[in-house]
Amino acid sequence: MWIVRLALRRPYTVGVMAFLILIMGIMSIKSMFVDIFPVIDIPVVTMIWSYPGLSAVEMEKKVVLLSERGTSSSVNGVEHIESSSQPGIGILRVYFEKGTDIGSSIAQMAATANTSLKSMPPGIGPPVILQFNATNVPVAQLTMSSKTMTEDKIYDYGINFLRLRLFTIPGLATPAPFGGKTRQIIIDADPKALQAKGLSTVDVLNAVQASNIIIPAGTARIGEREYNVALNSSPDVVSDFNNIPVKTVDGQVVRLGEVAKVADAFADQINVVRVDRKRAAYLSILKKIKCIYTYSSGGG
């Protein structure tokens, strides 16, 4: 009740204070920034393993389970772990306690994953570790189509040129395009030709891995000059793959072109984008973590 008595004794003072509060409130509203997508900090980190060709059951037993054991025992602040396995893909979602240093936890997860690689199937690469954020949502979609370019050319332009330009814009994140075809050099081994030469697909794989490499050779000093030496055995054109030696059988060198067919083709397409019933591609533009899109409530 003392507020009422003060207002009755000093009405002008209370009136001026109320007027100042009103003016300051209006000024605050006009200068206040409004975030369309407010930052919601959720301590969740996603770890994605990829090993094409491995079944979901083997992915769970040979990859995901080992990763769960290492993460739960070596990473600090873990609340619980959720995982799912698909053919060729294993996904772990690690939930942390509030107040956990996510940067330090991601570093620990990366170190633990590198240690677990030794017990996993040979040839598997390190996982992709991403910090989950509720505000990392699509803010725009950019569609790419052409009347003259094929969908593989559109995809190539989107991932190698357009995506790189968008990536330099502050606050934007652009993953790989959807749709289109990804270029791949496919080696299709002929079982009958391999059997006739006494070879196997393992011999073909080892030959390609041993020949398609770039080795730093250092320099060579000749007289008063020093030259850089480059040992590049990576084929420049697809037809050069046919000349890769696979193995020597009965004194004769068996080349890759004799037992396999090399083609400049594309990977299996898993998604299709159409614009006006024609094949195309599109880029999903995301908001980066901790980047605020704002507008002034007093602006037009």
For 202-219, write each residue's pLDDT tens digit. Answer: 888 888 888 877 777 788
pLDDT of 173 higher than 60:
yes
Nearest alpha carbon to residue 159 among 136, 175, 137 = 175
Percent of the chain exceeding pLDDT 90 equals 7
Span 117-162, pLDDT tens digits: 888 888 888 888 887 766 666 778 888 888 888 888 888 888 888 8
Span 269-281, pLDDT tens digits: 778 888 888 888 8
Distances (CA, A) of 271 to 119, 239, 274: 33, 29, 10
Residue 289 DSSP symbol: T
| Cα 189 from Cα 197, distance rounded (Å) | 12
Span 11-38, pLDDT tens digits: 888 788 888 998 988 888 877 776 666 6
For helices 65-74 and 102-116, angle between their N-to-C axes, nearest 10 degrees = 130
Terminus-to-terminus CA distance in the chain, angstroms? 44
Contacts of 94 (CB under 8 A, 6+ apart): 44, 45, 46, 47, 71, 75, 78, 81, 105, 109
| Cα 121 from Cα 155, distance rounded (Å) | 32
So what's the pLDDT on residue 289?
A: 58
pLDDT of 293 higher than 50:
no
pLDDT of 298 higher than 50:
no
Instruction: Work out the pLDDT band at 167, boundaries 50, 70, 90.
Output: confident
Span 44-90, pLDDT tens digits: 888 999 888 888 899 998 999 999 998 888 888 888 999 999 888 99
Contacts of 273 (CB under 8 A, 6+ apart): 143, 178, 179, 180, 279, 280, 281, 282
Could you give the 3-state DSSP secondary structure of residue 147? coil
Whether the pTM exceeds 0.95: the reply is no
Nearest alpha carbon to residue 88 among 56, 47, 127 = 56
